[in-house]
Structure 1
């Protein structure tokens, strides 16, 4: 049967991936800016992005609990850590939230005190995304049981984390001119986003090709994507490419100057376009899922 009604899971997975990606990218940029320019600027520019992570994870976890149907019994989901990827996902997501609190507290108490805790938090967040992808990869759904599930989830983490961090850095600058080194780092980040989007789309094509050559449920999923959801599929790709290129182009123009004001309106536009593209991609992920029982 076709799996539907997964609205809470769409929001939960996207919010968690956005939060983890933002943490990893913001932490990396904070360290690079601190080394290239000074620690205070690194903390100032990445502060809003790092602060946003906790509330996003809290909302995501709340959504996941209510998706279980009976939130009061949610503790039972971590009872099978040795055999259940769902248990591991809940554990790592909760641990990520706890470590974010610790890292955020240490960061505002002592300079550099959060570095070790920060990177441990990043690793735990990455494990949460890996566990999340594994839940679907090992399900009896041909559309999910390929490498594309891992590629899609981690590409979304990188794309949304990068554009969110860049947008909040533009917000943090408050219209002030930023050093060329900062703009150069963001310009390099824009190419990472473009690469992630392209790789994600390549694997979508590969996955659909493999589904078409399969049997039963695999062919049904391919048919759904290429007929019922073809408009959404094309729009998903177009939005990803347009958003990534907008991110690259606006920073390319700015990266040639010694000190510039970041084009925050263009960042907002790129963020909304990329977010819309990822929302469509995640919708298609669930909408095209057909269990092995279909033949």
Structure 2
């Protein structure tokens, strides 16, 4: 890709944060049961909707003609990008509806509907950013990166609304996702170094990238804080968000396209 693509960085990270918080809400409200109090529902759904709307607005700056954004739906039968736009639009609609009806309708229903639509967004995005022209990502890695980001940010921001009873659960999920994220990010570039020319160039670019190392250091820092405190301090999800933004910037800026080696030896 070799371009930071700030609008796509904003869209993918903030939308995955919104999806992750929705998943955590679905898990918590289902586990708590129908009789549990849920005074923070509107605030939590407000955060989810705010993250998603911000991401959607950010994505418009990637378009040459933002007013023509609906035409992205024209190829649902053949293009994963069109499916990503459709799922993202439906997910956004569910989050806005949830803000309006918070405290009125059944607790888990909209959260689980949002979870299904959100997973549709992540699967579609994983396929969109795994083209053959990016040999390092022409596999399941984009989906793995995106899902891991969603769980890290979802558990992190979800801890704001979990209460004392569910805080340990959020901390366990957060810790597990951080470990998975570290393994993925540390292993991938070294594996790429053993691949073909363009894949090897990608591995070298990632290992030489400030974005990459900033992301790894934030993951390690977050893991260290949770290990020491056994909980998720209120400020830590914001740090995790900064780390995911840095990592996503590197994802777009440092992944080498086959055109970069045009005319070279493979």
Same fold, TM-score > 0.5, yes or no: yes
Partners in 2 of 1:209 and 1:102 — Cα distance? Answer: 45
Give the match for residue 255 of structure 1. none
Give the match for residue 200 of structure 1. 181
User: Structure 1 residue 34: deviation in Å?
Assistant: 4.3
Matched residues, number: 261
Say whether the 8 Å CA contact 1:186–1:251 is kept in structure 2.
no
Give the match for residue 31 of structure 2. 32
Q: CA RMSD in A?
A: 2.2
Moved more, 232-241 or 83-92: 232-241
Moved more, 182-191 or 117-126: 182-191
Say whether the 8 Å CA contact 1:190–1:244 is kept in structure 2.
no
- Consecutive unaligned residues in structure 1, runs of 5 or more: 170-181, 253-262
Q: Does 2:221 match 1:239?
A: no
Q: Does 2:204 match 1:223?
A: yes
Q: 1:46/1:162 Cα in 2 relative to 1: closer, same or farther (>3 Å)?
A: farther
Give the match for residue 7 of structure 1. 6
Matches within 5 A, 1:77-226: 77-110=72-105, 112=106, 114-169=107-162, 182-226=163-207
Per-residue CA deviations over 1:97-150 (Å, capped at 9, x if unaligned) read 11223334343324x2x5333312210111111111110013511232232211
Give the number of the structure whose alpha-carbon radius of gyration is greater.
Answer: 1
Partners in 2 of 1:272 and 1:121 — Cα distance? Answer: 23
Give the match for residue 20 of structure 2. 21
Partners in 2 of 1:82 and 1:155 — Cα distance? Answer: 28
Partners in 1 of 2:242 and 2:96 — Cα distance? Answer: 29
Partners in 2 of 1:221 and 1:275 — Cα distance? Answer: 24
Partners in 2 of 1:283 and 1:22 — Cα distance? Answer: 22
User: Structure 1 residue 88: deviation in Å?
Assistant: 0.3
Say whether the 8 Å CA contact 1:100–1:121 is kept in structure 2.
yes
Give the SS at the match of 2:21: helix
Give the match for residue 275 of structure 1. 241
Partners in 2 of 1:34 and 1:50 — Cα distance? Answer: 18
Say whether the 8 Å CA contact 1:141–1:291 is kept in structure 2.
yes
Moved more, 283-292 or 232-241: 232-241
Moved over 6 A (4+): none
Say whether the 8 Å CA contact 1:166–1:186 is kept in structure 2.
yes
